[in-house]
Amino acid sequence: MLIESGVEVIDPDRTYVSETVQVAAGAVLFPGTHLRGATTIAQGCHIGPDCWIEDCVIERDCTIRYSCLEQAQVREQSTVGPYAHLRPGADVGPGARIGNFIEIKNARLARGVKAGHVSYIGDADVGEGANIGAGTITCNYDGEKKHRTIIEKGAFIGSNTALVAPVTVGEGAYVAAGSTITEDVPPGGLAIARSRQVNKMPGHGVEEDGSDA
């Protein structure tokens, strides 16, 4: 029936679509795709290969590859994957780029957000055009309660950053790679929260800290 309605199913024998799912004409389903529950797929989407999508809304012209999505929304012209995990409450896009090994939970990512590599974004609001560097995590759980991270429009989060919630990174602010951020970063500011590098030279007992003595 999907094929008859204008959906392109590359390999019907390896594509699994529940009766409750709605797929618009013009969408393309690649092998290994599982669509379940109250999922809707809009026109122009490319889904798969090898995706599990359950109770999700995927708007037009999105591409999702090798990923797991549950109770999430992906807005128009966004890309997800490969190997991303969108958990309940994830709201991505429009025009966002979610790359490999990104996990998103209960977080809203605005237009044009980029998160390319190996990051966890949980209980967060990420503003338009923000960039999330590789290895970034939002430390949302203190052992008793969940807390929220705010990353405002155009902010740049350097690689391997830990954002200890509750915390806000202001509009257009920068966070240096390798930082652990525990206080708000003002709009347009640069936050650096890491120890100074010390070089120990073998056999000489000399330390170099990189300063201009």
Distance, in Å, from the CA atom of 47 to the CA atom of 153, rounded to the nearest integer, reads 29
Q: Output helix, strand, coil percentages for the chain, rounded to the nearest 5.
A: 0, 40, 55
Distance, in Å, from the CA atom of 76 to the CA atom of 202, rounded to the nearest integer, reads 56
Which is the catalytic residue, given 34, 85, 117, 147? 117
Instruction: Provide the b/e sequence for 97-115 (b: ≥16 CB within 10 Å).
Output: bbbeebbbbbbbbbbbbbb
Q: Is 85 a catalytic residue?
A: no
Catalytic residues: 117
